Amino acid sequence: MSRTLHAYQAPDLSALARTLKRELEARPERPGHVELLNMLTKAVGYRNYQHFKASRAAEDRLSHPQVAEPAPVVDFRRVELTARCFAGTDVLVRWPGKLNQQQLAIWVMWSFLPAGKDMPEKAVNEILARHNGFGDHVLLRRELVNMGLVTRTVDCRVYRRVERKPPPDARELIRVVKAASSR
């Protein structure tokens, strides 16, 4: 196990010596390692050694900005296989056979729905039917709800797109489908 070094600084060496002398005289026997650490850190204003370590760790985190997380990796093969189901258009011509490709395709359908707008079921059906080439817009609507990308009222009359950031693969597929359809 590696040791973590903790820098120690006493603003007043004389006050530190007096505090340590008092602590040591008050004890009937010689203090152990941890007790000495606690005495030293108490002498400079901390409750105990754990408080000292926690305070220093927080100071390090605040003074050194966190390294940015690496950009999420896009599975371009998965995107390519799912994009084939759109056949170079913005119409899903066939329902993918694999669940992970179905979920990506549903994100594309989600992107066609207007943001922040309540829509009647008929309007949702019209949008999904326009981008559906295999004749089952009801399946698409149900999957949007099942994936939590669309909410609906209890009576299923009003639908609303849920604003979420698509995963990296879905963002790439949305970009590919919309770019192909605009040509």
- One digit per residue, the tens of pLDDT, for the chain of length 183 reads 456 777 777 778 888 788 888 888 888 888 888 888 888 888 888 888 888 888 888 887 788 777 666 778 899 999 999 999 999 899 999 999 999 999 999 999 999 999 999 999 999 999 999 999 999 999 999 999 999 999 999 999 999 999 999 999 999 999 999 998 776
Torsion of CA 34, 38, 40, 43, to 10 degrees: -170
So what's the pLDDT on residue 12? 80
152 φ, ψ to 5°? -145, 155
The continuous run of DSSP H or E covering 53 comes out as helix 49-63
Which two tokens mark 131?
A: 């981008």
Burial readout 107-135 (b: 16 or more C-beta within 10 A, e: otherwise): bbbbbbbeeeeebeeeebbebbeebbeee
Contact 144, 103 (CB under 8 A): no
